[in-house]
């Protein structure tokens, strides 16, 4: 099939770039002596998860039970859920997963610990837990060393769970400071963590400099996006994922309308000072996707001069943040060397539970 015949809007992934991105990260982890546990929330495709494992990844990371169930159905048998699970329903589903895969769960409170313990008792096998600590992100994670120790002690004593270590996101200088204070206290109580799991693509290649991380969770690196380029992690040539769109209207000389709006692109904005709009147009660097309705994208082309795109022209758009955009489509197109290869279902998309 000719790629130009595929209707827009549609996401297109270049496999040659994907392969280069995967090898680059795996090579870094191998050199640094860090186990790689990629986060599949970016691609949500079992075939890509299997390729990550083939190249040397320890296992995978999922954010939701629904993602983990899809991956376990595809034969992946080592999964970390990096999100606290709370409630009976979650315990029952986790128990089902634990009967067919090695499961670990991160958490930061006693209720989530009891949920995992209940799942372990139902499954008849221990489930590993990682205690998450916050290093300034202001999301999940305990905020004191005493809380880490308290949860680790509880996990050590509770039936159905096994204390496996610690988790943090994102890895930064503060992560290292916390661990320098925390680890001696844990070791003095016989709670030495077997795993210290850290995450975050933008600073991934500096992980070994910032903290004694033993396992790295990264997701965006497989595709890259406008944010990873702005952070200096990648170049535009490292961006494997682009949404193909069509210009459907030119109502004014300074405005182009594309056939993709908020149902295609995430509302995620770039960090201050790193760029405006909701995506980058490789063929028209001056164009800015400044506004969206559900099905329309309003592109300011005033900086393109006489080279602005015309009605009917197809454009590539690299999203600001690829992970939520990936989740908005049922399938994408794989290309190799720019040539159409196949349609690929995004099997774990839309798994909100």
* pLDDT-above-70 percentage for the chain: 100
Closest CA to 317 of 272, 252, 250, 264: 264
pTM of model > 0.75: yes
- Residue 218 sits in the same domain as residue 82: yes
**What pLDDT digit, counting tens, does each position of 209-266 carry?**
999 999 999 999 999 999 999 999 999 999 999 999 999 999 999 999 999 999 999 9
- Residue 93 sits in the same domain as residue 126: yes
274 phi and psi angles, rounded to 5 deg: -110, 0
Domain membership of residue 352 (yes or no) is no
Mean pLDDT of 141-170: 98
Which two structure tokens, joined as six digits, stand for 22?
Answer: 């995967």
Q: Which residues contact 237 (CB under 8 A, 6 or more apart)?
A: 17
- Residue 219 sits in the same domain as residue 108: yes
Note whether 116 and 107 are within 8 A (CB): yes
Q: What's the domain range around 157?
A: 15-223
Looking at residue 156, its pLDDT comes to: 97
What CATH number is associated with residue 68?
3.20.20.10
Mean pLDDT of 110-120: 98
Mean pLDDT of 164-176: 98
Looking at residue 127, its pLDDT comes to: 98
Average pLDDT value for the chain: 97
- Residue 174 sits in the same domain as residue 216: yes
Closest CA to 199 of 18, 65, 63, 318: 63
Domain tally, the chain: 2
d(CA 42, CA 40): 5
* Cα separations in angstroms, 193 against 20, 98, 129: 32, 21, 11
The DSSP output letter for 11 is: E
Domain membership of residue 351 (yes or no) is no
Domain boundary among 223, 254, 288: 223
Looking at residue 1, its pLDDT comes to: 86
CA 337 to chain CA centroid, nearest Å: 25
**What pLDDT digit, counting tens, does each position of 53-107 carry?**
999 999 999 999 999 999 999 999 999 999 999 999 999 999 999 999 999 999 9
Domain boundary among 197, 223, 249: 223
Note whether 49 and 40 are within 8 A (CB): yes
Closest CA to 81 of 196, 151, 141, 167: 167
Note whether 336 and 17 are within 8 A (CB): no
- Residue 267 sits in the same domain as residue 195: no
- Residue 188 sits in the same domain as residue 236: no
What CATH number is associated with residue 272?
2.40.37.20
> Of all helices (H) and strands (E), which one includes residue 115?
helix 110-123
Closest CA to 47 of 341, 271, 251: 341
Closest CA to 106 of 75, 72, 81: 81
Looking at residue 345, its pLDDT comes to: 98
Looking at residue 305, its pLDDT comes to: 80
Domain boundary among 173, 196, 223: 223
Mean pLDDT of 311-338: 98
Please report which confidence band the pLDDT of residue 306 belongs to, taking 50, 70 and 90 as the band edges: confident
Please report which confidence band the pLDDT of residue 34 belongs to, taking 50, 70 and 90 as the band edges: very high
Mean pLDDT of 292-314: 95
Query: Pairing relation of β-strands 215-217 and 35-36?
Result: parallel
Looking at residue 143, its pLDDT comes to: 98
- Residue 213 sits in the same domain as residue 270: no
Mean pLDDT of 309-336: 98
């Amino acid at each position: 099939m000719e790629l130009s015949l595929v209707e827009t809007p549609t996401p297109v992934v270049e496999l040659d770039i994907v392969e280069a991105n995967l090898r680059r990260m795996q090579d870094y982890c191998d050199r640094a002596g860090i186990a790689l546990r990629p986060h599949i929330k970016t691609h949500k495709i079992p075939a890509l998860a299997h390729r990550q494992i083939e190249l040397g990844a320890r296992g995978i990371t999922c954010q939701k039970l629904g993602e983990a169930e899809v991956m376990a159905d595809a034969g992946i048998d080592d999964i970390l859920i990096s999100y606290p699970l709370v409630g009976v329903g979650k315990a029952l589903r986790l128990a089902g997963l634990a009967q067919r895969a090695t499961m670990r769960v991160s958490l930061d409170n006693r209720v989530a610990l009891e949920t995992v313990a209940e799942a372990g008792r139902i499954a008849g096998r221990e489930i590993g837990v990682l205690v998450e600590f916050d290093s300034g992100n202001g999301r999940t994670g305990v905020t004191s060393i005493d809380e880490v120790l308290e949860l680790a002690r509880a996990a050590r004593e509770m039936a159905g769970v096994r204390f496996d270590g610690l988790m943090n996101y994102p890895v930064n200088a503060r992560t290292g400071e916390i661990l320098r204070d925390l680890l001696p206290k844990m070791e003095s109580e016989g709670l030495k963590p077997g795993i210290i799991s850290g995450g975050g693509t933008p600073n991934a290649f500096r992980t070994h400099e910032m903290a004694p991380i033993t396992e790295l969770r990264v997701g965006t690196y497989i595709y890259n996006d406008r944010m990873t380029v702005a952070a200096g992690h990648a170049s535009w040539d490292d961006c494997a994922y682009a949404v193909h769109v069509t210009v459907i209207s030119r109502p004014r000389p300074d405005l182009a309308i594309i056939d993709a709006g908020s149902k295609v692109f995430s509302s995620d904005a770039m960090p201050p000072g790193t760029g405006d709009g909701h995506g980058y147009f490789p063929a028209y660097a001056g164009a800015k996707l400044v506004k969206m309705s559900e099905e329309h994208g309003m592109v300011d082309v005033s900086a393109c001069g006489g080279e602005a795109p015309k009605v009917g022209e197809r454009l590539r758009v690299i999203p600001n943040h690829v992970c939520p955009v990936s989740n908005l489509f049922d399938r994408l197109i794989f290309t190799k060397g720019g040539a159409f290869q196949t349609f690929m279902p995004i099997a774990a998309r839309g798994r909100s539970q």
